[in-house]
Amino acid sequence: MSHASAHLDDLGANRFRLWLRSPWGAPDVEFAYKVDQAFAQAHVPYFPIAAHAWHTGLEVAVPEPFAAQASAIQHRFEEDLPRPHTSSPGRGFRRDLLPQRLSKSHADHPWVFCHYQEKLPDGRQYQALLFRDQKRTTFGRREWVLPATGGRIGEPAMRKLAWRIVMDPELRNELLSDDPSLHDFWP
């Protein structure tokens, strides 16, 4: 049984929207259930606006008076996500990457991409799609920590994600980062 409001209008006119990121590979139904339980335990009314398979998460709306409580729930979910990679570059390797074929209208985009891979001390595989603008003023990343037993995100998937970053400003904005160590990954 879901504790979500039946309609968005039930939350009133002033609403606060937030994005809850799920761990990569987490089943959508399981994550939605955990979100539902967290909001029910905190007695915060909410409405699920959208779940995006590619973005791995859930967008919800809450009444404005519950914004602080909802942000606290969002923070608890973010604590379970893999931490941003902060080791200095050089232990892994990076490879320049081009997005999948773009239409002529998007071919002159300002984004530069690379695929970074590194084996972590515990045996797991760290991979990231890093991107920046040509002026080196804006940086972003999408990270994965894969099990030591195998698994790899191949170049075709990375190229498709790069294409999505060029085409989808909402996704691109979600992946932007102000981490100063990202500058070090670019020659």
**CB 139, CB 130: distance < 8 Å:** yes
Instruction: Indicate the residue type of 109.
Output: H
**CB 93, CB 69: distance < 8 Å:** no
Residue 61's pLDDT is: 86
Residue 83's pLDDT is: 57
Alpha helices in the chain (DSSP H): 28-41, 67-79, 155-167, 169-175
Residue 150's pLDDT is: 65
Residue 6 phi/psi, 5-degree rounding, is: -70, -30
Residue 98's pLDDT is: 85
Cα 42 to Cα 69: distance, rounded to the nearest angstrom:
8
pLDDT in tens, 32-64: 888 889 889 999 898 887 765 445 677 888 888
Average pLDDT value over all residues in the chain: 79
Predicted model pTM: 0.53
Residues with pLDDT less than 50, the chain:
53-54
Q: Is 8-79 CATH 3.30.1450? A: no
- The three state secondary structure string of 101-147 is CCCHHHCCCCEEEEEEEEECCCCCEEEEEEEEECCCCCEEEEEEEEC
Among candidates 44, 123, 49, which has minimal Cα distance to 76? 44
Domain range annotation of the chain: 8-79, 93-185
Residue 1's pLDDT is: 54
